Structure 1
Amino acid sequence: MEYPGGHTGAVKVLVTGGSGLVGKAIQHVVKEDGQGREEEEWIFLSSKDANLMNMEETRAVFQKHKPTHVIHLAAMVGGLFKNMRVNLDFWRNNVFINDNVLQAAHEVGAVKVVSCLSTCIFPDKTTYPIDETMIHNGPPHQSNFGYSYAKRMIDVHNRACFQQYGHCYTAVIPTNVFGPHDNFSVEDGHVLPGLIHKTYLAQKEGKPLVVWGSGTPRRQFIYSLDLARLFLWVLREYNEVDPIILSVGEEEEVSIKEAAEAVVKSLDFQGEVLYDTSKSDGQFKKTASNIKLLRYLPNLTFTPFTQALKDTCDWFVANYDTARK
C-alpha cells in the first residue's frame, strides 16, 4: 500500500505524547478497535522515554526507533488559567519540543509527520467561522499567546521543510478535545474535564458546583476517539502540507453553560450550580469551519456530544483513583 510521500512497504509510526488524551485514543483505535494495519508497527512514547525539550534525548529516541511516520502530540498543555500564569514557559517549552521532534524526524528520514495544533492559534480578532487560511492573519488571544505562537511555528516549520526538502510534514487543528485519559485537573485542566472533576467533587461533598466565568463562551468539542480515527486518515490519506481543521460542524457549538448542564446530567448531580463571574471567560468563541474536512470525507459522522460526554464521565468515575487530576 502506498502512503502519502510515496512510501511503500513496512510503516513504523512513532507517536510522541503517546500516553496523553489523544495518544491513548489512538492506541485504543489501533489496538482495540482493530484499525491498525498489518504493515504498520506502532510505538507510543511517553515523557518517561525521552525529554523532548532536550535535543540529544529526542535524537536518541528517534535513532533508536527510526520511524517512517510520526504523529507528534507531545506538548506542554494546560487550561486557561495556567496559560495566563506562565505564557513564557508555554512558548519556550513548546518551541523546543516542536523543533527537536521535526528535526529528529528529518534526520532519520521520516517521510510523513502529522503534528497537532489547536484552534487557539487563530487570530483573536477575526471573522467566523475560522478556516485553515487564516492562521497567521493577526495576533492570537492574549490569554495563551505563548502556546499559540509556538504551535503556529509548526506550520512555518512544515512549509520550510517542504520548500527545502520536499517533506510531507503537515498538521491537524482539532477543536476542544475531550475523552478518557484526559487531565481532569480542576485548577489547570481544560474546561470540560475540569467541569467533570468539579461536579464529581461537589456531588461527593454535598456542595454547590461553582463554574468559573459567566458560562457564555462557546466551544466546539470533539470526542478523542473520533479524533483518533481522523488522525489515522490524515496519516494514511491526506497529502497536503497545508493544515486541516478536524472538528464537528459549526451547528454543534455549545456554550460553557450548556456543557456544564450536560455534565450535571451525565453525573446526575442534584446540587446548586453557581457561576463565578469574577473569573476570566477567556476567548468568547473560536468557531471553526470543517468544510475542508467534509470535502475529503463527505459522509463523516461524529459521536453525539451527550453520548461521548456520558462515556467520558463514566470512565472518570470508574478510574477516579488513577485518572490524571
Structure 2
Amino acid sequence: MRKEDRIFVAGHRGLVGSAIVRRLEQAGYNNLVKKTSKELDLRNKHDVDQFFQNETIDIVFLAAAKVGGIVANNDYPADFIRDNLLIQTNVITSAFEAGITRLLFLGSTCIYPKFAPQPMREEYLLTGELEETNEPYAIAKIAGIKMCQSYNRQYGTNYISVMPTNLYGIHDNFDLQSSHVLPALLRKCHEAKESGNPTIEVWGSGKPRREFLYSDDLADACVYLMETYEGNEIVNIGVGKDISISELVEKIKGVVGYEGEIVYNTGKPDGTPRKLVNVTKLQSLGWQASTSLEDGLSETYRWYLENYETLAIN
C-alpha cells in the first residue's frame, strides 16, 4: 500500500472497522473513505455501484457484516445469510468493476467445521459439518472467501481473506440479545456489581474453550498483511492459545471487581466445544499478537465505563 492511496473501510464504525481505521491512521494512511450505513447501504447493489463509480478508490477493507452471538444467530438466520451475502457480493463485484485489485475480506474462525481438529489450520475449511447455530452466517462467509479466491484465479486480483478468531475491544456490541460472549459477560458483571446482585447467569456449562483476540491486534495484522501478503490462501489471525468460558468469567470478574457467584444454565447451548486457531502461517509471515487478555479486558472495560450512558443497548 502507498500512503497516498484512497482506502475505503467498509464498516468503519464497528468493532473491526474502527480498529482498522485507527491502525491505518497511526501508520500514516490518512486518505480514508468512510460511509455510515445510512449514507451507503451496502446491501443495495445500485447504491454500491454508484459509490465505486463516483469515488476513486485504490484499496478496500471489507469489515462490514451482520454479526452476532448464539442468540442472534438462532433467532435471525435468514437475516444473517441474506445480509452478509448481499454486502460482500455487492462490494467485491463493484470494487472489481471499478478496477480495484487490492481488497481484504474478513471471514471468521466460526466458519470452520464444528469438530475440526484443534488447533484449526487453514486447510480444515470445508472438511466437515458446520456448527448448527451459526450455519447461515458461516455459509455466507465461506461464499465470500471463495469469491475472493475465484476472482484472484480468474482475473489476477489480489483479494486477501483472513480468518480472525473471537474478537473483543472498544466499540464492541454490548447488547445482551445480539452480542458475543465476552462483551455480554462484561456487561452482566458490571450491572450485577452496580445493582448488588449476588449472582449472574451464564449460558451453557462453562466448559467450552475459546480464543480471544483484541480488536486493535486484529487491525494491526490486517494492515500488515495488506502491506506484505500476496497469496491466494486464507490466513488465520489469532493468539494461538485459548481459555475456558468459566476461566474467562473469573478474569472478567476480577477486572470489573464483581464478587458474586456464577450460575451456569446448562439447558442453554454450549456451541462449538473448542475453537482455537493454528497461527503458524501468520507467524511465519512475521506477525504475532501483542496484547494480553488481561490488558485487553482492562482497556475494553475502561471504554465501556466511559461510554455506558451513550451505548445503544437494551
Q: TM-score range by the shorter chain?
A: over 0.9
Is 1:303 paired with 2:291? yes
Q: How does 1:1-325 map to 2 (within 5 A)?
A: 3=1, 10-31=4-25, 34-37=26-29, 41-207=31-197, 208-249=199-240, 252-297=241-286, 300-325=288-313
| TM-fit CA distance, 1:302 | 1.6
| Letter aligned with residue 7 of structure 2 | V
Contact 1:182–1:324, Cα closer than 8 Å, also in 2:
no
1:64 & 1:182 partners in 2: Cα distance? Answer: 31
1:42 & 1:101 partners in 2: Cα distance? Answer: 16
Contact 2:3–2:28, Cα closer than 8 Å, also in 1:
no
Task: Please provide the CA RMSD for this pair.
Answer: 1.5
| TM-fit CA distance, 1:311 | 0.8
Q: How big is each residue's C-alpha offset from its partner over 1:231-258, in whole Å with a ceiling of 9 and x where there is no partner? A: 1111111111211001001xx2011111
1:41 & 1:9 partners in 2: Cα distance? Answer: 8
- Counting aligned pairs with the same residue, the percent is 33
| TM-fit CA distance, 1:186 | 1.2
2:9 & 2:246 partners in 1: Cα distance? Answer: 35
TM-score of the superposition, structure 2-length normalised? Answer: 0.95
Q: How many residues align?
A: 312
Q: Structure 1's 222 and 301: CA in aligned 2 closer, same or farther, altered over 3 A?
A: closer
| Letter aligned with residue 100 of structure 1 | N
Contact 1:179–1:309, Cα closer than 8 Å, also in 2:
yes
| Letter aligned with residue 249 of structure 2 | A
**Helix, strand or coil at the partner of 1:11:** coil
| Letter aligned with residue 294 of structure 1 | Q
Contact 1:246–1:290, Cα closer than 8 Å, also in 2:
yes
2:78 & 2:177 partners in 1: Cα distance? Answer: 19
TM-score of the superposition, structure 1-length normalised? Answer: 0.92
Uncovered stretches (5+) of structure 2, i.e. residues with no partner: none
